[in-house]
Amino acid sequence: MDGLRMRNLLASLQSRCALRTAFAVCVRIFRQDAHPPSGFLMKRRMPHRPFHPDPPVDSVDALAAPLRIRPLLAACGLIALACGQAAMAATDTEAHRLLDAGRRFEHGVGAPQDIDRALRLYCRAGDLGLAEASYHLGWLYSSGRVGTVDEVLGAAWYKAAQAARHPQAETQLRQLGALDAPLDQPPECVLKAALRERRLPATATQPGAHAPPMADIAPLAAREIGHADIVSLVRYLAPQYRLPPELVLAVIAAESNFNPDAHSPKDARGLMQLIPETAARFGVSNPWNPIDNLRGGMAYLRWLLDHFNGDLELALAGYNAGENAVIRHGGIPPYPETQAYVRQIRQRLGRQSTGPVSVIRGQHMDGQGDGG
């Protein structure tokens, strides 16, 4: 088989082959180009045959046969490698397709909002080995985004993401105190109705380990809460959304000045000023509940950071004016309110000692914006 034929065959196999195809091709190659003389194998099995000083022609051909077979074996190895690469590429493409579809159903962007359908799609992508899908499932389950906090299941999915070499999975496991915890593998795909609340024991090195547990802060929703209560809530919840608490507090100060009853003329409500569309998009049934409002606002802020590849100014502009306005203007919209909003939060963060915003790059999707 000449080099041109081999290159053409490899190019074809890269796009439409499986390993069994490679095996069939190799069999055909051997039959056509590498069939040894009929006496070769018998001669190899009969070492006691007398030595011939002048071997016959068929014996010379037999001795040359392995030299023809070696390059063909190499060719078959390349074919199998090409098939394996093609199969892996097809699997990766399908996994990303499932991930994108899950995001649409999770956020109700381009599809009806359906968290269970999103979970099924994410789980299928995770089962195909996509690290980002496993990581996102870990966040969904451990943060309570699905409606119930299950840190055990979330940590199991983070473990799967770590095994798939997700760069942030180890950090999340450490924050949950589950880096060395024995967890069930592979993790289960549990839908919303079947979830039950499970917590991992707090450790001395776990961020928020000394924060009040949810059992203690939940009653805050039923009474008037003060500035210190809100700060405590934010410091407890923000790490679950991979956000610095200082950033969330700066957004709350700009949005509502820490007033959980704030209600803007644009119908933005609560501490993080969620409009009804965004509240529904991120699963907030009661935006007047401070805890639900904070969760919805943090989920939206996290999504904006992923959406704009970690650009904090664009994420803040999107929170105030909507991500579509940012996309339409190719940057911070030329609205005095939005520009002052971004500048105010940046200045507030500049006066504080804060770490970098944790960023996981995400896929772009359209949606509505908030900001009072």
- Other CB atoms within a 10 A radius of the CB of residue 107 amount to 22
Can you read off the two tokens belonging to residue 308? 């704009």
- Contact indicator for 39, 62 with CB cutoff of 8 Å: yes
**Catalytic residue, candidates 132, 246, 255, 323:** 255
- The full DSSP string for 170-236 is HHHHHHHT-TT----SSPP---GGG---B-PPP-TTSTTTTSPPHHHHGGGGGS---HHHHHHHHHH
Contacts of 222 (CB under 8 A, 6+ apart): none
First to last CA, the chain: 71
Does the annotation count 255 as an active-site position? yes
Q: Which residues of 160-196 are buried (b: 16+ CB within 10 A; e: fewer)?
A: bbbebebebbebbbbbbbbbeeebeeebebbeeeebe
Contacts of 328 (CB under 8 A, 6+ apart): none
Residues 247, 237: Cα–Cα separation, whole Å: 12
Can you read off the two tokens belonging to residue 256? 């509502």
3-state secondary structure of 351: coil
Can the peptide bond before residue 186 be classed as cis, meaning omega within 30 degrees of 0?
A: yes
Contacts of 193 (CB under 8 A, 6+ apart): 116
Helix ranges (H only) for 108-147 are: 115-127, 131-143
Residues 296, 280: Cα–Cα separation, whole Å: 9
Q: Which residues are catalytic?
A: 255
